[in-house]
Amino acid sequence: MAGKRKGEPSTTEIDMTPMIDMTFQLITFFMFVMNFSEAEQDDRIQLPMSQLAKPVEGPTDTPITLQLTNSGSVIYAGELVALSDIGSYLDREKTVILDAGKEPNAATVIIRADGRSKTGEVQDIVRICQEKGFERFALRAQYDEGR
Amino acid sequence: MAKRESKLSDKIEINMTPMIDVVFQLMSFFMCTLKIVTPEGDFDIRMPLAAAAAAPDDQQVPPVRVKLSAGPDGALAAIVMNGTTVSDFDELRKKVVAIVGTDAGPNSLAEKTELELDCDYALKYSNVVKAISAVSGTVQNGQIIEMIKKIKFTPPKKPGS
């Protein structure tokens, strides 16, 4: 302990500045990339790719998201439902829409169908929705950024 | 006086611990709530049930009918547009451009023309999206030029029914 005065406390000072700088940078980064959108996405669905899919601008008015899996079942509100059973769920949605003083044709049914699923099943969903009075559909595709 | 001066020149140490605690908490919160969202887009389709029974309009342009047939495994087997076989989606796009032109403004032919998609039940859905992409617009220099907007499906035909 040469050169050290007697009685001085032996504290080691760490320079915190670079760490704090970096941490604040990270916080800023995560704050910017944070997404508040409640977009319903599911890993089980592999959307078909398209360059022309119009990016979703703002929230859709009363959206109903139906996701069709590769195996032909529908994911509705995070639950796996058989295609033939979605009618009763749509009835419930319709009641909610009517209670809110709107018409079912004002709602948009967002169909997120897997690229490998059968077209006929997508059409079946469309038909069931039509029978319940829904007429606006949005076929969702993954935006393909160039060839 | 001398005593006071020496006090002022003393190094003031700020206790960083609470700040670092909070900063790390914030960072872990933002890291945990991070959701990676892939960019998605929509094809808007308006298809009321009674559309088939709608009275024919004088100004109505004849609809373009596109039939997509499926092979045994659901792959695309053939594209037929208004009775003529089309080799691929690029050719389909060219044929649609030949019919409706590239002007998509209000009251244009592209806006009025309706396209009816008739697909086999087992056809893989990605082919339908490709067909819709081919007829609904083209990308030129990063700009989307819109073509047919009115797209509808024929009712589904379940095999064996």
DSSP string for residues in A11-27: PPPP--HHHHHHHHHHH
Nearest Cα of chain B lies from the Cα of A84 at a distance, in angstroms, of 14
The confidence score (pLDDT) of residue A7 equals: 60
**Residues in chain A closer than 8 A to B96 (CB atoms):** none
A78: left (phi over 0), alpha (psi -120 to 50) or beta: left
Q: Which fold has domain B62-153?
A: Nucleotidyltransferase; domain 5 (3.30.420)
The confidence score (pLDDT) of residue B8 equals: 57
Going through chain B in order, the beta strands assigned E by DSSP cover: 40-46, 64-70, 76-81, 84-86, 114-119, 137-140, 143-146, 150-153
- Is the pLDDT at A2 greater than 50? The verdict is no
Kindly indicate the confidence band of residue A10, based on its pLDDT and cuts at 50, 70 and 90.
confident
Average pLDDT, chain A: 83
Q: Is A6 on the interface with B (CB under 8 A)?
A: no
The confidence score (pLDDT) of residue B23 equals: 92
d(CA B51, CA B45): 13
d(CA B47, CA B157): 17
- Is the pLDDT at A105 greater than 70? The verdict is yes
- Parse chain A into domains and list their residue ranges: 49-143
- Parse chain B into domains and list their residue ranges: 62-153
**Residues in chain A closer than 8 A to B45 (CB atoms):** 136-139
C-beta atoms of B16 and A55 within 8 A? no
- Sign of the CA dihedral with A109 first, then A110, A112, and A117 last: positive
Query: Of A81, A111, A123, nearest to B158 (Cα)?
Result: A123
Measure CB to CB from residue B125 to each of A24, A48, A137 and give the nearest one. A48
Q: Are B98 and B135 in contact (CB under 8 A)?
A: no
Mutate to test the interface with A, among B126, B127, B150 (most CBs of A within 10 A): B126
Nearest Cα of chain A lies from the Cα of B123 at a distance, in angstroms, of 5
Q: Is A114 on the interface with B (CB under 8 A)?
A: yes
**Residues in chain A closer than 8 A to B133 (CB atoms):** 50-53, 141
d(CA B109, CA B150): 11
**Residues in chain B closer than 8 A to A48 (CB atoms):** 125-126, 129-130
Strand-strand pairing, A79-82 and B84-86: unpaired
**Residues in chain B closer than 8 A to A114 (CB atoms):** 125
Q: What is the pLDDT along chain B (161 residues), one digit of tens a residue?
A: 445 555 556 778 788 889 999 999 999 999 888 877 777 888 888 777 765 545 455 556 778 888 888 888 888 888 888 888 888 888 888 888 888 776 766 677 777 788 888 888 889 999 999 898 888 877 777 777 778 878 888 887 777 65
Residues 50-79 of A with CB under 8 A from B: 50-56, 68
Q: Is A124 on the interface with B (CB under 8 A)?
A: yes
- Is the pLDDT at A25 greater than 70? The verdict is yes
Average pLDDT for residues A60-76, to the nearest whole number? 87
Q: Is A83 on the interface with B (CB under 8 A)?
A: no
